Structure 1
């Protein structure tokens, strides 16, 4: 090992990174094995190489059988995920930044929201925003005067549920960064005479941006693959990719199993593409470098 001029041993950067990699392998290997086996099976089924009946034959029929519906579902899934994640990121960031001003009510509400399952959240949003729900009753409106928020054209109830739940997750992640990294730099900038807006623009936001990107990517990927919220609060048609995959997989017609696997592969591809974009954005951030 290299030795410094004062006799102390110098740290080799590569050796530390390899040590950290070895430490996480016991947790990563089982996850990769399970996920890899599931994705591999779905990919083989979608390509006709693992049929339930008949001989294996390489084909893309599972992807082309419902090509129009598959494209519509993919675009709908992306739209719901983009809008809900953007709202969740904005709300979560504002809630986390409120900690800097000494107000912890938003973070306390976020901590109470985290343990609530999305299934319970979807039922709550449905009871609140339906035409016969709690909110129109409090406002004294009947079903004809209340807009179709649940099961309507614009998927407002679905987006509201995702934005509500995922904003709490993003707020907690960003608040952790604020507590561990930003506080010292913010105090230093204040001591040097920087105003509140200057500290927010030049210190706080650049330092929390990696955590915000990572948390938003996780929320986006979850929204892309989530089933229960869209099924409970959404329309019957068009349907998001997870709802379409479950419908095809549970059909009494076993010939739709490869089509369900194809939809699952497309959904996974969208999630992996999101992770790749987020990782690229993180690598280009100043904090990462």
Structure 2
């Protein structure tokens, strides 16, 4: 009841937007002509849609995995009071207030063939194409750097109040460091880590600006493809853009449902 005033309008806007996009992608709300139920928009964009889906899933999976690994390691070091804890907390908190567009621009200045790293190495001529190259290295790096701070914040908040007492009890009972991590820390960290990773995956899958600024020109990720088709002067491309958006939303929903199903099977959730 306390969250209903914020939840109900949010769900209403989300459902209305998705329903409108689905209807227009199926030809039920055409900009010109008579309404007619058809999957032609999906068929027209299918060749680009398949490659864009593979690229977007690859970017989202790689970014989420790196963010989860770095975020988990950072959270464990902060919670357990490792050396340089204050400096580590400051470094991990820096990316949080930085907008994604600013972070992407900074990553481009760092990784481009004339960027900071290429100048430091002093071999700009043979520097690999990390920005707008055949592989979305800069896109993955930008998302992983930005979202690792979010993962660390979520995991550290979940562990800060519980892990110390449980680990002390396990140590008194004779558990070693690896046993404490396996039977105490890992079960406690799994739900928040999985939830934060799923949020990162879904956000990365649908985010536009970083992939547009740093990603390959062809093939295009799903958000970039949808934006290009939506802003095309050819109005007949509008249903194709919304078809791409509907596919992106369906993939995000599938990832969310899969994460919730997996979390319900964990001992900590039960």
Same fold (TM over 0.5): yes
**Unaligned regions of 5+ residues in structure 2, if any?**
none
SS of corresponding position for 1:180: coil
Aligned to 1:89: 68
> Mapping of 1:180-195 within 5 angstroms?
180-195=161-176
Give the superposition deviation at 1:181.
2.4
Whether the 8 Å CA contact 2:79–2:156 is kept in 1: the answer is: no
Q: Deviations over 1:20-78 (max 9, x none)?
A: xx222212101001111111110110010011111110000110001111011011100
Give the superposition deviation at 1:227.
0.4
> Mapping of 1:3-22 within 5 angstroms?
22=1
Q: Deviations over 1:81-119 (max 9, x none)?
A: 111111111111011111243132333212111000110
SS of corresponding position for 2:38: coil
Give the superposition deviation at 1:192.
2.1
Larger Rg: 1
Aligned to 2:91: 109
TM-score, length basis structure 2: 0.96
> Mapping of 1:143-222 within 5 angstroms?
144-222=125-203
**Unaligned regions of 5+ residues in structure 1, if any?**
1-21
Aligned to 2:113: 131
Q: Deviations over 1:163-218 (max 9, x none)?
A: 11111100110000111222221122122222222111110011110000000000
Question: Which of 100, 106, 120 is matched with 1:118 structurally?
Answer: 100
Whether the 8 Å CA contact 1:107–1:171 is kept in 2: the answer is: no
Whether the 8 Å CA contact 2:25–2:243 is kept in 1: the answer is: yes
TM-score, length basis structure 1: 0.90
Pick 1 or 2: higher relative contact order, CA cutoff 8 A, min separation 6: 2
Q: Deviations over 1:201-240 (max 9, x none)?
A: 1100111100000000000000000000110001111000
Whether the 8 Å CA contact 2:79–2:160 is kept in 1: the answer is: no
Give the superposition deviation at 1:243.
0.2
Question: Which of 212, 218, 234 is matched with 1:253 structurally?
Answer: 234
Aligned to 1:238: 219
* Greater alpha carbon shift after TM alignment, 192-201 vs 257-266: 192-201
Whether the 8 Å CA contact 1:73–1:238 is kept in 2: the answer is: yes
